[in-house]
Amino acid sequence: MDKIIDILDSIAYEKGLKITDVENALKEALIKTAQKMVDFSLVFDAEIDKENKELKLFQKIEVVNSDDERLSGEVLDQWENPINAENFITIEEAKEIDEDLEIGDFVQYDLEFENMGRNAATILHNNFEYKIQRFIEENLLSKYQNKIGKIISGSVTRVDRAENTFVEIGEVRGMLTRKSRIKGESFKVGDVIKAVVKSVTIDKQNGLVVEISRTSPKFLEALLKLEVPELKDERIFIEASARIPGSRAKIALSSSDPQVDPIGSVVGVKGVRISAVSAQLNGENIDCVEYSSLPEMFVSRALSPAIITSVRIEKSTKEDERDKAIITIPIDQKSKAIGKSGLNIRLASMLTRYDIVLSETVTEPSLTGKTDEAQEKTADTASLEALFK
């Protein structure tokens, strides 16, 4: 056993784990092995004596009152199994062993692991390896959960029949599903791609799964932060974003410095910054909107380039429905508000989180009129938004 203790530091260094995690894995593996080889219902514990290079295994027996019902072994636990009476000792018997023992203390009996046979060594090795692997997965899970919403880059290692693209990212592989690719994109083995970490889970069959996305609005935001220093320095903030990947996007910007123009900073001189981001998104058009805390003003700006006459916010009476923004608009601005294939009004709805209803007017505003076409253009906004999160 002393040889195992000698290599704990090496295992921790090689696997990128804390030495305390490796020590705990060894102790847990030893306890599991003792339960397997002796009796699963008994209580065991283990200690590592680094100074003497010893791994100590012992059985723990709790000191209880002489009338404790657990001494009979007839009490059932939550799994309806009898409690092993050998896990308990009366206070009178405990006092014969050590006068200082009190109720709730434990009497410990040392066990010799070497006396358990060859099978015990094999079981210990398997249990220890399993525990180490779990610690590695937990560390990786924590590491990549902290990367959710951040950009990663890696090389494509495989594309399967379902058109899922697997990307090598450090110690793990990321999976870019077909729905998380921008329309028209295709990748081959060896391509280096950028994406944003969407989710990190542990699957029993596949282990750690890092799902990445190129369609999420977070990917657009992350690309902008790489290109625009004012965003990284937090002089400008992205308040909201919405995308129909590969076609068009809208971002709402605000500034903490009155001397800094948020839209001008993001667009850059002659549009160089926004163009660089658009090029990485297959030419996706990106509209910049100045954010306003006033919902009426924000909705009006989100519908740009259309000129809005008035906006009225109508609160929803149902919890599962969004509030509505009733828009009064000149008839000649209607096509601009809706946009080609309804993209403008859909993105405005996704950006502001309001269901937008257009009401046409020629001379006087009408706050109640609705058009079927406008309703149809915003009907599937919620499903679109959910698809590209």
Domain ranges for the chain, please list them. 2-138, 151-214, 215-291, 295-389
**pLDDT higher than 70, residue 91:** yes
In the prediction, which pLDDT does 277 show? 95
In the prediction, which pLDDT does 87 show? 86
Residue 148: partners with Cβ closer than 8 Å, 6 or more residues away: 197, 198, 199, 200
The mean pLDDT value for 210-238 works out to 94
The mean pLDDT value for 357-375 works out to 55
Per DSSP, the residues of 300-330 read HHHTTTSPPSEEEEE--SSTTS--EEEEEEE
| Environment class of 58 (CB within 10 Å of its CB; exposed 0-12, middle 13-18, buried 19+) | middle
Whether 295-389 and 215-291 are alike in CATH topology: the answer is yes
* Sign (positive or negative) of CA dihedral 268, 270, 274, 279: negative
Which fold is adopted by the domain 295-389? GMP Synthetase; Chain A, domain 3 (3.30.300)
pTM here is: 0.70
* Token couple for 191: 């391509």
Per DSSP, the residues of 359-375 read EEESSS--SS---HHHH
Nearest CA-CA partner of 352 in 308, 97, 330:
308
Residue 229: partners with Cβ closer than 8 Å, 6 or more residues away: none
In the prediction, which pLDDT does 385 show? 60
Residue 175: partners with Cβ closer than 8 Å, 6 or more residues away: 164, 165, 166, 167, 209, 210, 211, 212
- If you average pLDDT over every residue of the chain, what do you get? 86
Number of CB atoms found within 10 A of residue 215's CB:
26
**pLDDT higher than 80, residue 367:** no
Least confident among 49-63, 160-174, 251-265: 49-63
Of the ranges 99-108, 336-345, 374-383, which is most confident?
336-345
* Residue 362 near residue 189, CB atoms below 8 Å: no
Total count of residues recorded for the chain: 389
| 3 state SS of 98 | coil
The mean pLDDT value for 363-385 works out to 49
Least confident among 11-15, 94-98, 311-315, 378-382: 378-382
Distance CA 254, CA 179 (A): 31
Class of the CATH-defined domain 2-138:
alpha beta
In the chain, % helix, strand, coil (3-state, to 5) comes to 40, 30, 30
Tens digits of per-residue pLDDT, 227-260?
999 998 899 999 999 999 989 999 999 998 889 9
CATH of domain 215-291: 3.30.300.20
CA dihedral 208, 213, 216, 218 (to 10 degrees): 70
Distance CA 36, CA 123 (A): 8
Distance CA 369, CA 357 (A): 9
* Token couple for 72: 């009979």
Residue 366 binned pLDDT confidence (cut-offs 50, 70, 90): very low
The mean pLDDT value for 261-289 works out to 94
Instruction: Give 118 or 255, the one with higher predicted confidence.
Output: 255
Q: Specify the CATH architecture of the domain 151-214.
A: Beta Barrel (2.40)
Alpha helices by DSSP H, the chain: 2-6, 8-15, 19-37, 91-97, 118-145, 217-227, 229-232, 262-267, 272-279, 295-302, 334-338, 343-352, 372-378, 381-387
In the prediction, which pLDDT does 364 show? 46
